[in-house]
Amino acid sequence: MIPIARPDIGDEEKKAVMEVLDSGMLAHGDWVKRFEKKFAEYIGVRNAVSTTSGTQALVLALEALDVREKEVIVPSFTFIASATSVIRAGGIPVFADVRPDTFNIDPEDFRKKITKRTAAVVPVHLYGQPAEMDEVMEIAEENGISVIEDACQAHGAEWKGKKAGNLGDIAAFSFYPTKNMTTGEGGMVTTNDCELAEKIRSLINHGQSERYRHTELGWNFRMTNIAAAIGTEQLGKLDRNNKTRRKNAEIYNKELADIAVTPYVDERAYHVYHQYTIKTRSRDRIIDEFKKEEIGFGIYYPIAIHQQEVMKKLGYTAKLPITEKLVDEVISLPVHPLVSEEDTETVIKAIKRALT
């Protein structure tokens, strides 16, 4: 079996977790502070605030910017949390279409969706490639709109040499086990705005400005020392594992370019391949072959957000021709750092049998 995703967990993470367990300090503490400091340094920002999930990181970023009763533009071709986080923060998601090559938000459609009520945009760095941030930032600045990067799939990705998570006003990361690095479950908010960071630190800790003094309506969304210990060790492996992902992607690119649409990479971006996603009109044939060979695959995403039943119930609608076409064409291949060259050969042979 070649799984579509598998975390690279080794002795380093086990040792760090045992150190936390032996200390007896399992909850929010020194390991969390250490992880936040290292992550902020890695991304190149002043502040990193940990939390319990990538979804919660998005909600916190949106709450800190106060998008209540305001419109927030999001792509519909992404995981549903990019939009439901807006609703949870009291905002109104407005769906934009994506580019057919990068799968990221189309800057021109973003521009068209701006109204007097627009407060923010959430460019998603889908599959590990940053959105066109030059264009997004220019449009946002012209219209006084905040930019919240959804970097939940883009740990270590870069735009013109600058890390994802340090491109907009604020950013959210996920550390779910399938991501390029994990804490088991967890998330992180990154920003250079110290006031936003302090507000988020209060929000994750029951709205406290100091112990037992509550100035905000907050929650308990604190990361544990156990999760932070895993994350600290994972961060140390991130660049190495991203290089392996890119190496596996290069093999696929070389062998599959003539029979499927392989990922387009903007020359300004450093793609870290959270997913390696091809486009084909013969997806079902590939799936049948993969099932025979016990090869894992993913369809990210088979239903666009604006097509989801819950969004229809809530009254959100959109017509997005590119997004609505992509949901029928994309399929993701195993690309994670534990995929061997032999594994990539098995995947390639199965695709060639299916398509030729």
- pLDDT block averages, 10 residues each, the chain of length 356: 97 97 91 98 98 98 98 98 98 98 98 98 98 98 98 98 98 98 98 97 90 87 97 98 98 96 98 98 97 98 98 96 98 98 98 94
Domain 238-355 sits in which CATH superfamily? Aspartate Aminotransferase, domain 1 (3.90.1150.10)
Same fold, 11-232 and 238-355: no
Dihedral sign, CA of 231, 232, 234, 239? positive
Cβ-based burial of 195 (10 A; exposed 0-12, middle 13-18, buried ≥19): exposed
Question: What is the 3-state secondary structure of the chain?
Answer: CECCCCCCCCHHHHHHHHHHHHHCCCCCCHHHHHHHHHHHHHHCCCEEEEECCHHHHHHHHHHHCCCCCCEEEEECCCCCHHHHHHHHCCCEEEEECECCCCCCECHHHHHHCCCCCEEEECCECHHHCCCCHHHHHHHHHHHCCEEEEECCCCCCCEECCEECCCCCCEEEEECCCCCCCCCCCCEEEEECCHHHHHHHHHHCECCEEECCEECCCCCECCCCHHHHHHHHHHHHHHHHHHHHHHHHHHHHHHHHCCCCECCCCCCCEECCCCCEEEECCCHHHHHHHHHHHCECCECCCCCCHHHCHHHHHHCCCCCCHHHHHHCCCEEEECCCCCCCHHHHHHHHHHHHHHHC
Q: What is the pTM of this model?
A: 0.97
The pLDDT, as a whole number, for residue 216 is 84
Q: What is the pLDDT of residue 302?
A: 97
At residue 205, the pLDDT reads: 92
C-alpha closest to that of 287 among 329, 317, 238: 329
**Cβ–Cβ < 8 Å for 155, 148:** no
Domain 11-232 falls in which CATH fold?
Answer: Aspartate Aminotransferase; domain 2 (3.40.640)
Residues 82-106 as b/e (b if ≥16 CB within 10 A, e otherwise) read bbbbbbebebbbbbbbbbbebbbbb
d(CA 352, CA 52): 41
pLDDT value of position 217: 86
Evaluate whether 142 touches 116 at the Cβ level (below 8 Å).
no
Q: What was the pLDDT predicted at 61?
A: 98
Among candidate residues 82, 238, 232, 237, the one with its CA nearest the CA of residue 171: 82
Domain definitions of the chain by residue range: 11-232, 238-355
Question: What tokens appear for 186 in the block?
Answer: 């967890």
